[in-house]
């Protein structure tokens, strides 16, 4: 879906079956089963559009592999109601099925996945890890169904079920109006490690310190999704006729013409502030935390994007500005340190006064080096004064808003690293609606033409600010003064 052409209008609603797939908490298997459902219907020839609630860079990789379409975030605060309505309305016009994966638990956060579902009348499907329960599954389903009045309920799907007898016990505890949609067995892959006979129980979608391993990093990613789709196919949910799916159809109306978007300044609109400028964007396993909508935003401002892979030893393309997104530079530090030609390119770019915007992992790659959680030091590119230290516990998590000289950006923070830097501090982010208690947030560093932060920006929240961070002319027009 080309989101760069999304507009706010009074067009007629578009009708499409849709589900918001949620859980009582993280770790229940909703990502796996959302991707499995997308893969199952895609295999049957349907056009499936998947969305993700809240900020997330990793789950969407699996949903994109399953559906064949780019996955966008929906969040009533970060991306805004108008943006969510416009994306869903556009998707409903071209898709057979819309799936939205929730974030954390159904009612976690403010606004929550439940708030989005209720606002747009989207049916809610609850995935519950039933591996250590029986009849209590029904109580959980009943609570999720009724805790927030007004939710449109689709049903409950039990996950990680041990046996047919276990499934019977689970189903017996679910009330009829909570709609039992089946039990998914523990999923096994058909391959086994060397020296071990028979199938192995898979960590089907493996994890590491920031979440799931990205789908493109696993050669057997599609095999894993097919195994999950096969397990789902034998459940009542997987066996429902397409006609039955129509009971979950939603009339997705676009936002009215003139509705404010997610920008804190309601008058803020997209402009050609990057027209004629070339933005180089690092893109590989070390720099993979990119919202597709952010790329759309840059293009909508007139930028030409040139992608390159530092890990592959590619040189910096000829460009006016450089964006180093987040990712996992700490996992590839030695390989990145060997890219001395690229390191020299970036230094020359900076010495020429050309803009660099470095987010989270992109910032780490530019610092002097990083110490991993086991105490091992690895040098990096050394442009930003300072050293990073990986933590065993989260150092930053949650929605954030960052004041810049040009306006307020919305986004989020999620990292295990700390940075000790002598670079100039240009600003500090804060949580939305921060209390009177001082909120540390994330620092915005400036070092010459380099801006860097652990903060991940949603570019459409203030396009002018993003354009300025990427070197657009800093005059009164850009600042909105």
Give how far the C-alpha of residue 171 lies from the chain's centroid of Cα atoms, to the nearest Å. Answer: 33
Task: Give the number of other Cβ atoms within 10 Å of residue 390's Cβ.
Answer: 19
Classify residue 5 by burial, with Cβ atoms within 10 Å: 0-12, 13-18, 19+.
exposed
Pick the closest to residue 474 from 405, 394, 382 (CA basis).
405
State the angle between helix axes of 136-146 and 164-172 in degrees (0 to 180), rounded to the nearest 10: 50
Burial class (CB in 10 A: 0-12, 13-18, 19+), 177: exposed
**Tokens for 10?**
């009074």
Please report which helix (H) or strand (E) contains residue 466, including its range. Answer: helix 463-469
Q: How many other CB atoms are there within 10 angstroms of residue 143's CB atom? A: 14
Q: Find the catalytic residue in 16, 53, 297, 360.
A: 360
- Beta carbons within 10 angstroms of residue 425's beta carbon: 12
Nearest Cα to Cα of residue 459 among 304, 328, 292? 292
- Residue 360 is a catalytic residue: yes
Q: Which residues are catalytic?
A: 360
């Amino acid at each position: 879906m080309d989101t760069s052409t999304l507009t706010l209008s009074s067009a007629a609603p578009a009708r499409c079956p849709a589900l918001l797939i949620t859980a009582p908490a993280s770790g229940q298997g909703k990502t796996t089963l959302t991707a499995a459902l997308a893969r199952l219907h895609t295999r049957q020839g349907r056009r499936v559009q998947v969305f993700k609630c809240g900020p997330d860079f990793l789950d969407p990789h699996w949903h994109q592999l399953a559906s064949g379409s780019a996955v966008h975030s929906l969040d009533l605060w970060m991306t805004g109601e108008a943006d969510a309505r416009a994306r869903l309305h556009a998707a409903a016009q071209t898709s057979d099925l819309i799936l939205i994966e929730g974030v954390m638990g159904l009612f976690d956060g403010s606004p929550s996945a439940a708030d989005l579902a209720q606002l747009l009348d989207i049916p809610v499907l609850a995935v519950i890890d039933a591996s250590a329960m029986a009849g209590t599954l029904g109580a959980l389903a009943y609570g999720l169904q009724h805790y927030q009045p007004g939710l449109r309920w689709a049903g409950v799907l039990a996950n990680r079920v041990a046996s047919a007898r276990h499934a019977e016990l689970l189903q017996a505890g679910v009330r009829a109006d909570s709609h039992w949609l089946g039990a998914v067995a523990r999923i096994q892959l058909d391959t086994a490690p060397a020296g071990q006979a028979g199938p192995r129980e898979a960590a089907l979608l493996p994890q590491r310190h920031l979440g799931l391993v990205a789908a493109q990093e696993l050669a057997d990613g599609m095999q894993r999704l097919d195994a999950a789709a096969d397990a789902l196919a034998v459940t009542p949910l997987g066996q429902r006729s397409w006609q039955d799916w129509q009971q979950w159809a939603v009339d997705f109306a676009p936002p009215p013409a003139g509705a404010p978007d997610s920008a804190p300044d309601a008058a803020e609109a997209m402009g050609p502030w990057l027209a004629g400028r070339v933005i180089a964007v690092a893109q590989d396993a070390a720099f993979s935390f990119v919202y597709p909508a952010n790329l759309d935003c840059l293009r909508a401002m007139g930028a030409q994007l040139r992608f390159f892979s530092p890990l592959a030893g590619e040189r910096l393309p000829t460009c006016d500005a450089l964006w180093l997104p987040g990712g996992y530079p700490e996992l590839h530090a030695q390989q990145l340190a060997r890219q001395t030609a690229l390191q020299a390119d970036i230094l020359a770019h900076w010495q020429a006064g050309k803009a660099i915007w470095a987010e989270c992992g992109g910032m780490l790659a530019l610092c002097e080096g990083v110490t991993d959680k086991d105490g091992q030091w690895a040098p990096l590119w050394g442009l930003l004064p300072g050293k990073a230290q990986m933590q065993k516990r989260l150092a930053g998590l949650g929605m954030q808003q960052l004041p810049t000289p040009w306006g307020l950006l919305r986004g989020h923070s999620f990292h295990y690293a700390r940075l000790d830097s002598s670079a100039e501090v240009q600003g500090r982010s804060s949580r939305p609606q921060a209390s009177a208690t001082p909120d540390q947030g994330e620092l915005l560093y400036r070092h010459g033409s380099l801006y860097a932060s652990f903060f991940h920006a949603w570019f459409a929240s203030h396009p002018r600010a993003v354009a300025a961070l990427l070197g657009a002319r800093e005059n009164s027009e850009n600042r909105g003064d």
